[in-house]
Amino acid sequence: MPTVTDVVCPLCGCLCDDIRVEVEGNAVKKVRGACAVGRAKILGHGRLKSPLLREGDELKECSYEEAIKRAAEILAAARRPLLYGWSCTVCETHKVGILLAEVLGGVIDNTASVCHGPTVQAVQGVGLPTCTLGEVKNRADLVIFWGANPVEAHGNHMRRYSYLTKGWFRPEGKKDRKLVVVDVRESRTARMADIFIRVEPNKDYLVLAALRAIVNGFADVVPESVGGVPKERLVELAEMMKTAQFGIIFFGMGLTQSRYKHNNIEQAISLVRDLYAFTKFAIMPMRGHYNVTGFNQVCTWQTGFPFAVDLARGYAWYNPGETAANDVLSRKECDAALIVASDPAAHFPAECVKHLAKIPLVVIDPYPSPTTEIADVVIPSAVCGVEAEGTAYRMDKVPLRLRKLVETEFLTDEEILERLLDEVLKIKGLQ
């Protein structure tokens, strides 16, 4: 059976590029080297079979031409369209999608706004002392996961990049590293840790601030217990950080989605800056979808801002809290939506889904989902990284080229958007 080597996994922000896939008769038969979640994606499962148009309570099959024409009519007629998703597709798609948003004068946002959006805002405030995953693999002797659970969410992260792997200066792998996990519960990752520190929910900010005080020599002002953590444990952790040769903090939704959001991240980044007085330290967000980072890159090149960009004024306006997807949905402001490679009906709060279901909705995606259930136009697409190639950005902002493993009759996201853009330009008399 022909084996394709060095396949890049199109699932999470790890973008593992050492996957081996056996292909026979234009079908994926076996996947080796991927985590359970990545393997499930590459092996493939239930697909949308045809473009669909809503007629009453039912979605009825139609041609690509009919679906794209109807989608263009919906979007061109909208006064304030929302274009959301983009994190499970390649950068080439983003380029066309952002141009479409500009032509429509719409709001364009990606899944960062419910993921690491607060991280992006914190980085704009205080910068990001970071590194590549290769540096972590070769150098890190202290690995801290804060509000992140890679065992469940980034299955191969510890094996390939951060903890179990052997590196140039860490020839013994995990024996040469210490693992610290900070979380509100003992996650599967926490069970592997040398030290697990349990923080009370919504108290991460306090614990980070206390650590900064201790690192900077003001342990005397820190109370005996902070956010449920005894002071002596914080003193111990601060000492570990200061005496490490190369430390790294990986952080996840535990910091971005709990109270104080971007302020938590600013504290964490500032702690790493403080540690520079003593040693080499870095910090990195555990980006979720495989190309959530890529959208932020492309959007920044093209509009000047990374996500939540409002193009209604004819120039780019960025103000998360006003211009993110959940903002325009919870205010019931948008009057049509285009969702690409994402499933907000499953992952947005109910009141936002309620509005999404009320307005005309166009979805481009390879798979049926709660969002396609409430859509008016559904356009099936090829699976990037399996049926289509393109560029994606790893969580450390390293771009990698996704490969095409099998042929497909489905159009790619990029092709669908280009056709959609052409139709919209025609309707608006711009072509």
Partner 1 sequence: MKLITGRTIEQGQNLENKLSEEYQKVVAVCELSEDDMKAVGVSEGNNVKVKTQFGEVVVVAKKADGNPQGIAFIPMGPWANAVVGGDTGGVGMPQFKGIDAEIERTSENVPSVRELLKSLGV
**Contact pick of 87, 302, 369, 408 for partner 1 (by CB under 8 A):** 369
**Contact pick of 167, 227, 360, 368 for partner 1 (by CB under 8 A):** 368
Task: Using CB under 8 A, count the residues that bind partner 1.
Answer: 68
| Residue ranges in 97-156 that form contacts with partner 1 under rule CB under 8 A | 109, 113-114, 117-118, 121, 149, 151-153, 155
Establish if 32 lies at the interface with partner 1 (CB under 8 A).
Answer: no
Q: Determine which helix (DSSP H) or strand (DSSP E) holds 298, and give its type and residue range.
A: helix 292-303
Residue 183, both tokens: 């979380």
| Residue ranges in 171-200 that form contacts with partner 1 under rule CB under 8 A | 184-188, 190-191, 198
**Contact pick of 2, 45, 58, 429 for partner 1 (by CB under 8 A):** 45
Asked whether the beta carbons of 199 and 229 are under 8 A apart, the reply is yes
Establish if 320 lies at the interface with partner 1 (CB under 8 A).
Answer: yes
Which residue shows structure tokens 């285009």?
A: 338
Report, in Å, the least distance between residue 217 CB and partner 1: 31
Stretch that binds partner 1, among 32-40, 297-305, 385-393, 418-426 (CB under 8 A): 32-40
For the stretch 287-326, what's the b/e string if a residue is b when 16 or more beta carbons lie within 10 angstroms of its beta carbon? bbbbbbbbbbbbbeebbebbbbbbbeeeebbbebeebbbb
Asked whether the beta carbons of 375 and 345 are under 8 A apart, the reply is no
Report, in Å, the least distance between residue 318 CB and partner 1: 10
The residues facing 338 across adjacent strands are: 83, 362
Stretch that binds partner 1, among 63-71, 158-166, 267-275, 364-372 (CB under 8 A): 364-372
CA separation (Å) from 93 to 89, 251, 295, 364, 399?
7, 28, 9, 11, 15
Question: Helix, strand, or coil here: 85?
Answer: strand
Tell how strand 52-55 and strand 195-198 pair up: unpaired
Q: Which is nearer to partner 1, 125 or 134 (CB)?
A: 125
Report, in Å, the least distance between residue 361 CB and partner 1: 10
Stretch that binds partner 1, among 19-27, 60-68, 138-146, 363-371 (CB under 8 A): 363-371
**Contact pick of 329, 364, 392, 424 for partner 1 (by CB under 8 A):** 329
Residue 164, both tokens: 């179990």
**Spatial CB neighbours of 160, under 8 Å, sequence gap ≥ 6:** 14, 16, 18, 133, 137
Overall residue count recorded for the chain in this entry: 431
| Residue ranges in 330-359 that form contacts with partner 1 under rule CB under 8 A | 330, 343, 345-354, 357-358
Helices and strands (DSSP H and E) totals, the chain: 17, 21
Per-position x/- string for 225-264, each x denoting binding to partner 1 as judged by CB under 8 A, each - no binding: ----------------------------xx-xxxx-xx--
CA separation (Å) from 137 to 24, 45, 89, 176, 244?
35, 33, 27, 11, 15
Contact footprint for partner 1 (CB under 8 A): 11, 36-37, 40-41, 45-46, 109, 113-114, 117-118, 121, 149, 151-153, 155, 184-188, 190-191, 198, 201-202, 253-254, 256-259, 261-262, 288, 307-308, 320-321, 323-327, 329-330, 343, 345-354, 357-358, 366-370, 373-374
